[in-house]
């Protein structure tokens, strides 16, 4: 049997890393098993679903490299769900419910006051045809509820093992709303069946939905898929990650200069999956991934660990690959040869962008720590001597040796003022490597910028 999995986002917000992890696990499983990875847009919530979020989710999945083998939208399939609901009504497995929101809220309040979990009390289950006609004549539009029978629903989860739920705790649940749109559990079952889904891989928060869905599967005579519920991601305070927190969205991480392969690598590690090493490329991730190897323990999203992995991947990547990623991020072409100079000094793609003015601009911006360093008299003396040396005709690549001879200084006392003056910062690649890439006019302009005019004491930096 061909393995078929799906990722089913709701376009109610940007793709956050928790859902990206689920998409990745489905994709890796399909690719490892030679199966198909399908996409389903669950957009039946008309008030909260927006096409711009759908576009953003698709763009982020493509950026991650998670190409899909087929796609559908639930909003385009409403007649299908209505037909299956009609079938359950005809077979007595569902019934119309005429309860108003106020009546349902009162029902909920009574259960909570009694210390019981809220559920529907079944009051519309045994209405006669005459009572239903009367309620309809009053203008009440019915929803459709699934009739839950007694007993329990059990299943095997590939991550959490054997699971069992008492049906009486669930109550009769809505499968079709008053506006004739399907609820999540109902549409999910219909689509998973019609899409031929063999493995439902999703977040642990959907574990309580599974018994309801199994009841629908069985009522319609559908074969059950296998279920695998993935423990959720939390932040350092133990709170669930939210799609509304920019720092934890895929788009936010991309804008910070994170690589898709580094993000995927980290999300695989968060599953507790055993691998030969922590730094993995796509092929290594496919080889290491096993559903049964995913830990039952929740995982904490640690941005520092992700940044470390990003740094490791930047050091492994080819120059043209880095150039392509950075050009895409900045929206302009970037010379890959220039990037090689900074490879050992960067953690993200944005760090490259921060370093590039050293080579590209006549006078790069001055960072505050460099500005303060250059205010000292010793630093000013070094810069003044360097300016005279260059104006006397010494080439940039020979400046450091000439300065050692002229000043008798070496080490930090010499290099830090020169670095601050020539690059506008106190960190970066070897100063000699930078000087070999600068022409004399740039060096002179930067040294002049770093000098404080003596006549009025104002700062020229």
- Yes or no: say if 186 and 94 are a contact pair by the CB < 8 Å rule: no
Per DSSP, 266 falls in state H
* Helical packing angle, 260-269 and 51-64, nearest 10°: 90
* Helical packing angle, 209-220 and 78-90, nearest 10°: 70
Neighbouring CB atoms inside 10 A of 295's CB total 14
Q: Is the Cα torsion angle 41, 42, 46, 49 positive or negative in sign?
A: negative
Per DSSP, 58 falls in state H
How are beta strands 152-157 and 161-166 bridged, if at all?
antiparallel
What are the catalytic residues?
243
Nearest CA among 174, 177, 81 for reference residue 122: 174
Query: Tokens representing 36?
Result: 């198909």
Distance between CA atoms of residues 336 and 323, nearest Å: 5
Query: Tokens representing 79?
Result: 């007649």
């Amino acid at each position: 049997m061909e393995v078929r999995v799906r990722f089913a986002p709701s376009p109610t917000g940007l793709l956050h890393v928790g859902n990206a992890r689920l998409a990745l696990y489905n994709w890796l499983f399909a690719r490892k098993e030679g199966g198909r990875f399908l996409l389903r847009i669950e957009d039946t919530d008309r008030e909260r679903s927006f096409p711009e979020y759908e576009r953003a989710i698709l763009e982020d999945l493509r950026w991650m490299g998670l190409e899909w083998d087929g796609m559908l939208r639930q909003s385009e399939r409403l007649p299908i769900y209505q037909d299956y609901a009609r079938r359950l009504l005809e077979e007595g497995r569902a019934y119309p419910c005429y309860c108003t929101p106020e009546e349902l809220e009162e029902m909920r309040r009574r259960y909570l006051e009694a210390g019981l979990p809220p559920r529907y009390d079944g009051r519309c289950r045994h209405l006669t045809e005459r009572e239903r006609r009367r309620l309809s004549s009053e203008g009440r539009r019915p929803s459709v509820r699934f009739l839950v029978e007694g007993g329990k629903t059990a299943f095997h989860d590939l991550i959490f093992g054997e699971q069992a739920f008492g049906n009486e705790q669930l109550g009769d649940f809505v499968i079709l709303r008053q506006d004739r749109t399907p609820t999540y559990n109902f549409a999910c079952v219909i689509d998973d069946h019609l899409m031929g889904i063999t493995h439902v891989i999703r977040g642990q928060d959907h574990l309580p939905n599974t018994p309801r869905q199994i009841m629908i599967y069985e009522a319609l005579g559908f074969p059950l898929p296998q279920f695998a519920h993935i423990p959720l991601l939390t932040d350092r305070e133990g709170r669930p990650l939210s799609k509304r927190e920019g720092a934890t969205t895929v788009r936010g991480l991309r804008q910070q200069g994170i690589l898709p392969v580094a993000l995927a690598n980290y999300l695989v590690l968060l599953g507790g999956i055993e691998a030969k090493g922590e730094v993995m490329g796509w092929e290594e991730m496919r080889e290491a991934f096993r559903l049964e190897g995913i830990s039952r323990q929740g995982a904490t999203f640690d941005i520092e660990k992700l940044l470390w992995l990003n740094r490791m991947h930047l050091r492994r990547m080819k120059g043209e690959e880095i150039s392509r990623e950075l050009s895409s991020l900045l929206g302009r072409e970037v010379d890959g040869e220039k990037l090689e100079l900074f490879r050992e000094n960067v953690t993200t793609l944005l760090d490259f962008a921060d370093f590039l003015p050293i080579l590209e601009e006549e006078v790069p911006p001055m960072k505050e720590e460099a500005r303060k360093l250059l205010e000292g008299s010793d630093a000013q003396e070094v810069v003044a001597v360097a300016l005279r040396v260059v104006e006397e005709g010494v080439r940039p690549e020979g400046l450091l040796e000439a300065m050692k001879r002229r000043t008798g200084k070496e080490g930090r006392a010499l290099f830090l003022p020169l670095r601050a003056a020539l690059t506008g910062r106190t960190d970066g690649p070897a100063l000699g490597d930078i000087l070999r890439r600068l022409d004399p006019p740039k060096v002179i302009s930067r040294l002049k910028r770093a000098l404080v005019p003596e006549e009025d004491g104002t700062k020229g930096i």
